[in-house]
Amino acid sequence: MNDHKYPVYDYFKFIWDKKLLLILATILFMIAGAAFSFTRTPSYTSKAVVFTGNGENDKLSKPGLISGEYKEGLPENLRASFDVKIVEPFLISLSLSGPDKNTVESELIEAAAKYEADLKERYNEQKGVWDDYTKALKAKVEKTEQLIDTYREISSTEKNEENLNRYTEILMLKEEKLPRYYADLKEAEYELKLLEEPELKKDSITTTASSNNLLRNILLGGAFGFQLMLLILVFWKYVLNARRSESQK
C-alpha cells in the first residue's frame, strides 16, 4: 500500500542503485567523442586582407556584393565557405575553407588578386578623372591670370573712355573669379593627394588548420551518454512499476 507513497525517492533510489551503468555510459560516450575528434578530416582556412583604397567603390566595398561577385570563380565545393568581412574602414577580409591546404591557399590568393586588380582598375579610373579635372583647373587659372595681366596692360594705355570702361569691367570680372578658381584647384589637388591605391596585404595571407575540438567532443559525448542512460533507467523503472501494478490487480 505504501510502495508508491514516495515515487520520486523510489526513482532516485533505483537510479542510484544503477549508478555504475550511468558512469559506464558516460565513459563510453566520452571515448566515442574522443575517437570522433581524431577521425575527423582536418579543415584549413586561408585568410587575406585587402586595402580597398579610399575612393568611391560601392560595388567593391560591400561584403555581400564582393562575395557574390568572386565566389563564382571558385570551385563549386568551396563556394559556400567563401566569406567576406569588413575588418575596419577600407580593409576587407577574404577567407576560404576546405580540406586541402594547397587548394584553399591558391584559390583564395587568386580570388584576392582578382579583387585587388578590379579595385586598382576602378582606382585608376577615378585618379584619371581627378588628374584631368586638376589639369583643366590649372589651365583655367593660368589663362585667367594671363587675361588679367593683358587687360591690366591694355587698361593702363587705353585712352578711349568707352573701351577703358569695358576693359575695366572685364578685368574686375576676371579678378573676381580668380580666387574661386584657386580654391577649386586647391581642393582638387587635395582630393587627388588623398587618393590611396588599393593593395593586397601580402603579409596578411595566412592559413590555419581547424582544431579537432577534442575536449569539446569528449564533454559533449559524456553529457549525451549520461542523459541517454538516465532516460533508459527512468523508463526501465517505469516499466517495472507498471508490471508490478498489473500483477497486483
Segment 84-129, tens digit of pLDDT: 999 988 999 999 999 899 999 999 999 999 999 999 999 999 999 9
What pLDDT, on the 0 to 100 scale, is given for residue 1? 44
Distance from C-alpha of 173 to C-alpha of 170, rounded to nearest angstrom: 5
**DSSP β-bridge partners for residue 241:** none
Same domain, 10 and 62: no
Q: Using the predicted structure, report yes or no on whether residue 137 has a pLDDT greater than 80.
A: yes
Tens of pLDDT, residue by residue over 167-180, are: 889 989 999 999 99
* Whether 10 and 61 share a structural domain: no
- Find residue 94's DSSP bridge partners: 48, 84
Residue 105 and residue 145 in one domain: yes
DSSP state of 232: H
Angle at 220 between CA 216 and CA 223, to 5 degrees: 140
Q: What mean pLDDT is predicted for residues 132-141?
A: 96
* pLDDT tens digits, one per residue of 33-54: 888 877 777 789 999 999 998 8
Per residue in 171-224, pLDDT tens? 899 999 999 999 999 999 999 998 999 999 888 899 988 766 788 889 999 999
Domain that residue 22 falls in: 1-40+212-249
Same domain membership, residue 142 and residue 71: yes
Quick one: 168 and 239 in the same domain? no
Q: Tell me the average pLDDT across 19-29.
A: 94
- Residues 65, 152 within the same domain: yes
Q: Say whether both 194 and 231 belong to one domain.
A: no
Does the pLDDT at position 2 exceed 70? Answer: no
Same domain for 187 and 171, yes or no, is: yes
Neighbour-count burial for 20-58, b at 16+ CB within 10 Å, e otherwise: eebeebbeebbebbbebbeeeeebbbbbbbbbbbebebe
Do 246 and 158 reside in the same domain of the chain?
no
Q: What are phi and psi of 57, to 5 degrees?
A: -135, 60
Chain length of the chain: 249
**pLDDT value of position 6:** 66
Is pLDDT at 31 greater than 60 in this prediction? yes
The share of the chain scoring above pLDDT 70, in percent, equals 96
Work out how many domains the chain is built from and give that number: 2
- Is 28 in the same domain as 105? no
Same domain, 89 and 158: yes
Q: What is the pTM of this model?
A: 0.66
181 and 242 both lie in a single domain: no
